[in-house]
């Protein structure tokens, strides 16, 4: 019994020692694991978190920049829309037109020697003139031109009836004495120096144009008319004329009679009627120009 007891006690002692060793190993393993976890946590704090913070800041900055750009675009669109609306409102009522809408009304800028190559009767020579859309006065002159003041308006349209924006509309005509501003006019001595004789207007979003001029008058060989030139970037220039509806001289005018198609001839023959609300006897006329359909002249 004594030997057996000692053996039993030895086995128990060995088992206790093994268990102790296992616990010690577990403690050391736990310590190593804890150190590894601490290392990972340190790496997250020193490397990962700053990267995340930078990405978050960059994202926020991009969002702010995008929001600012969107606000600026919205403001630009609103301001441009208001500007276009004001221009269109001005065009819609000639009686509210106070200051001529100029497209470069600068006297003496350069001679118009190249503007009317297709208009054989018009040769401006070395005459220099203003370029706005008010033909009644020249630049800041105080004396208006002689003649029946007429507001001529209309739209420039494509063949589908859609308005054309940024079309340069130019007109020229003789004064109330039947004299043009060019140097070769037959009755130069009678020329009205207060009549501008030439005007320009750049169309807006509605395709409308507006001029203040005089009712055209006849001169030997021609019925009353206003010359037009429509210029657009990349497009062929249209040279045409408009005439007074019902004027007896039309039937004797060679250019008017040369328009054989009755509908086309009618499209360039327009009424000059008393302007509603005018207290000084002004006239109003409307001449719509359809590119590809309005006859050349």
Give the model confidence (pLDDT) of 181-221 as tens digits.
887 777 888 899 999 999 999 999 999 999 999 999 999 99
Q: Quick: pLDDT tens for 74-100.
A: 665 565 555 545 444 444 444 333 333
The neighbour count for residue 74, using CB atoms within 10 Å, is 10
pTM over 0.75: no
Strand order in the sheet with 225-231: 198-202, 168-172, 225-231, 238-244, 269-270
Give CA–CA dist 264/250, Å, rounded: 14
Q: Quick: pLDDT tens for 18-43.
A: 776 666 666 666 667 667 767 776 77
Q: Element (H or E) spanning 53, and its range?
A: helix 49-92
pLDDT at 102 over 60: no
Query: Which of 210, 205, 211, 208 has the alpha carbon at shortest distance from 165?
Result: 205
**CA 70-75-80 angle, 5° bins:** 125
pLDDT at 112 over 90: no
Give CA–CA dist 208/93, Å, rounded: 12
Query: Which of 238, 221, 224, 197 has the alpha carbon at shortest distance from 285?
Result: 224
pLDDT at 121 over 60: no
Task: State how far Cα 220 lies from the chain centre.
Answer: 42
Give CA–CA dist 30/12, Å, rounded: 27
Query: Which of 244, 236, 237 has the alpha carbon at shortest distance from 270?
Result: 244
């Amino acid at each position: 019994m004594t030997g057996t007891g000692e053996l039993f006690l030895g086995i128990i002692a060995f088992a206790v020692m093994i268990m102790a060793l296992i616990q010690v190993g577990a403690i050391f393993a736990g310590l190593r694991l804890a150190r590894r976890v601490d290392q990972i946590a340190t790496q997250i704090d020193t490397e990962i978190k700053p990267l995340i913070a930078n990405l978050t800041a960059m994202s926020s900055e991009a969002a702010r920049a995008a929001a600012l750009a969107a606000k600026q675009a919205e403001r630009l669109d609103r301001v441009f829309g208001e500007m276009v609306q004001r221009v269109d409102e001005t065009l819609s009522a000639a009686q509210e037109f106070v200051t001529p809408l100029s497209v470069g009304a600068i006297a003496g800028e350069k001679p118009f020697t190249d503007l009317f190559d297709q208009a054989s009767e018009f040769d401006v020579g070395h005459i220099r003139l203003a370029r706005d859309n008010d033909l009644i006065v020249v630049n800041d002159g105080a004396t208006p031109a002689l003649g029946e003041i007429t507001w001529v308006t209309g739209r420039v349209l494509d063949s589908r009836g859609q308005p054309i924006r940024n079309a340069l509309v130019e007109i020229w005509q003789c004064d109330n004495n039947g004299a043009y501003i060019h140097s070769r006019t037959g009755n130069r001595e009678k020329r009205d120096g207060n009549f501008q004789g030439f005007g320009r207007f750049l169309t807006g979003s509605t395709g409308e144009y507006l001029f203040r001029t005089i009712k055209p008058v006849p001169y030997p060989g021609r019925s009353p008319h206003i010359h037009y030139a429509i210029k657009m970037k990349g497009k062929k220039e249209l040279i045409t004329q408009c005439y007074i509806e019902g004027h007896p001289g039309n039937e004797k005018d060679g250019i008017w009679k040369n328009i054989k198609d009755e509908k086309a001839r009618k499209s360039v023959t327009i009424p000059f009627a008393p302007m509603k609300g005018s207290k000084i006897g002004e006239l109003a006329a409307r001449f719509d120009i359809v590119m590809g359909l309005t006859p050349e002249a």
